């Protein structure tokens, strides 16, 4: 495992707190990604704190251009609002470009879907736009890769899309790259059998239930429910309990052990 962290000011703190002696590369992602061992299958999570940018799309192309069959890629971006909306709000110049015009100028007409509307630069609609642009970038780079003769044919499959809020609205896509020869291995993964994924694939909104630690334990101790039984809720709101029951298997659960 390798962690790429470009915030050099936090290097000392990161080194003090990193688990299992994980190596940390303090270069920018555009410098670190090409140096990974691309002859191996990789599981990559490009977890960005900021809004979608052309630098992120370039990182994406770096991965697609090099990925071997079986590589899994997740990309997370912030989607509260496009940075160009703030620029437009602060620009008091007469007849200044609109936020959408600035967005198109920043990414290029070819990258922005023609039907994009100004209200798609905010919130969850912006998250949907980001996902569309990320997947479009993957498809474009795969087409370029497959047009050459140096590398074997590569394809990609979207596994899932997520929306969630951890201080800021975020969205994530996850795709897997595979060669036609290994399509049967991909089919054996049965991603479509995951009960939390809709068919056809659409974004899963993760709403973390608002529960106290005591309520968390009370519900968890009753799950999974036996057929025909019901949760004993007490004062726990029904809506929060239902949300917990839907996602409790995927929530992080850990304990701190002192050696």
pLDDT of residue 259: 58
pLDDT of residue 214: 92
**What is the chain's Cα-based Rg?**
21
Among 126, 123, 80, CA closest to 107 = 126
pTM of the model: 0.88
pLDDT of residue 234: 93
CA angle 37, 40, 44 (to 5 degrees): 75
Residues of the chain with pLDDT under 70: 150, 254-259
Peptide bond into 224 cis (omega under 30): yes
What contacts 138, CB < 8 A, 6 or more positions away?
60, 64, 156, 175
Distance from the first to the final alpha carbon of the chain: 23
* Helix spans in the chain (H): 11-17, 29-32, 54-66, 83-90, 99-107, 123-147, 183-187, 213-220, 238-247
How far apart CA 88 and CA 255 sit, in angstroms, is 47
How far apart CA 90 and CA 230 sit, in angstroms, is 54
């Amino acid at each position: 495992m390798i962690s790429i962290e470009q915030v050099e000011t936090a290097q000392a703190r990161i080194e003090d707190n990193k688990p299992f002696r994980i190596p940390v590369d303090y270069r920018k992602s555009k410098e670190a990604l090409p140096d990974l061992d691309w002859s191996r299958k990789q599981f990559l999570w490009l977890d960005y704190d900021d809004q979608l940018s052309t630098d992120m799309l370039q990182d994406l192309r770096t991965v697609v251009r090099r990925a071997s069959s079986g590589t899994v890629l997740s990309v997370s971006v912030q989607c509260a609002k496009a940075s160009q909306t703030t620029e437009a709000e602060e620009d008091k110049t007469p007849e200044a470009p609109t936020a959408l015009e600035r967005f198109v100028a920043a990414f290029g007409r070819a990258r922005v879907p023609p039907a994009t509307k100004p209200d798609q630069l905010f919130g969850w609609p912006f998250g949907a736009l980001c996902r569309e642009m990320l997947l479009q970038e993957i498809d474009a780079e795969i087409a370029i890769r497959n047009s050459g003769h140096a590398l074997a044919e590569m394809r990609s499959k979207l596994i899932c899309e997520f929306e969630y809020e951890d201080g800021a609205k975020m969205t994530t896509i996850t795709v897997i790259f595979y060669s036609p020869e290994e399509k049967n291995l991909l089919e054996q993964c049965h991603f479509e059998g995951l009960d939390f994924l809709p068919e056809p694939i659409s974004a899963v909104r993760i709403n973390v239930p608002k529960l106290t630690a005591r309520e968390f334990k009370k519900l968890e101790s009753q799950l999974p429910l036996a057929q025909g039984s019901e949760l004993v809720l007490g004062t726990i709101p029904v809506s929060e309990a239902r949300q917990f029951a839907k996602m409790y298997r995927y929530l992080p659960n850990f304990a701190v052990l002192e050696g």
